[in-house]
């Protein structure tokens, strides 16, 4: 897709991915190889799951290639060390998921939708029902003709899945 867009249009392309499933790192690498102009990453202490792929991993992957970033991995490590301490202060605000989660591959939940789902469930004292909601999302999408999960449809599908699970009835 990147190479075709670049071939047909004079535009800058920038790729934004969340690292929830473990696929984002590969997507960034393939997009870079195809000519994308920029990618979003996050320092490792703040990366993965709900965030972006780790900057340091991409820098190390690209080192010595035609796409070498020139960034100093040791300087990046000192930045990561700082943010590891910062992150500790905000631990109470982190979501349920830790690391990669293959359930997200099945449910195809975007990062922003995932945090919203968790928030909705927490507000209803039902945070323990996330697994059921993730299983319900593909069923709701199927019923709606497999609409793409981008705002606002992602929020509509997610909210309907939450309602279906919490009420025990579909579409009531």
Tens-place pLDDT, residues 1-17: 999 999 999 999 999 99
87 contacts 45 by C-beta, under 8 angstroms: yes
pLDDT category of residue 73 using cuts at 50, 70 and 90: very high
Judge whether residue 72 has pLDDT over 80: yes
Element (H, E) at 133: helix 130-143
pLDDT category at 38 given cuts 50, 70, 90 is: very high
Is the model's pLDDT at 112 over the cut of 80? Answer: no
- The first and second tokens of residue 127, run together, are 């945070």
Taking only the tens place, the pLDDT of each residue in 115-136 is 888 888 999 999 999 999 999 9
Q: What is the mean pLDDT of residues 30-46?
A: 97
In DSSP terms, 42 is beta-bridged to 54
Q: State both tokens at 146.
A: 């497999």
Closest CA to 42 of 67, 19, 75, 9: 19
Would you say the C-alpha torsion 3, 9, 14, 19 has a positive or negative sign? negative
Q: What is the percent of the chain where pLDDT is above 70?
A: 100
Higher pLDDT, 11 or 111: 11
Q: What's the rounded Cα separation, in Å, for the pair 147 and 21?
A: 20
Using the predicted structure, report yes or no on whether residue 113 has a pLDDT greater than 90. no
Q: How high is the pLDDT of residue 135?
A: 93
* 82, pLDDT greater than 80: yes
DSSP 3-state helix, strand, coil percentages of the chain (rounded to 5)? 55, 5, 40
> What's the pLDDT band for 24 if we cut at 50, 70, 90?
very high
Nearest to 120 by CA among 152, 90, 163: 163
Q: What are the backbone angles phi and psi of residue 80, rounded to the nearest 5°? A: -60, -40
């Amino acid at each position: 897709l990147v190479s075709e867009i670049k071939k047909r249009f004079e535009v800058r392309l920038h790729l934004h991915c969340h690292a929830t499933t473990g696929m984002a790192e590969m997507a960034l690498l393939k997009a870079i190889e195809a000519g994308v102009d920029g990618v979003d990453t996050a320092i490792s202490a703040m990366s993965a799951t709900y965030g972006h792929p780790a900057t340091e991993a991409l820098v190390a992957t690209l080192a010595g290639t035609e796409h070498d970033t020139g960034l100093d991995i040791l300087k990046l490590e000192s930045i990561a060390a700082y943010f590891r301490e910062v992150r500790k202060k905000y631990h109470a605000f982190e979501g349920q998921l830790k690391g990669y989660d293959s359930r997200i591959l099945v449910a195809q939940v975007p990062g922003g939708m995932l945090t919203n789902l968790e928030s909705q469930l927490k507000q209803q004292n039902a945070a323990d029902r996330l697994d059921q909601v993730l299983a319900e999302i593909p069923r709701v999408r199927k019923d709606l003709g497999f609409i793409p999960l981008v705002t606002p449809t992602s929020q509509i599908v997610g909210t309907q899945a939450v309602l279906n699970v919490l009420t025990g009835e579909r579409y009531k």
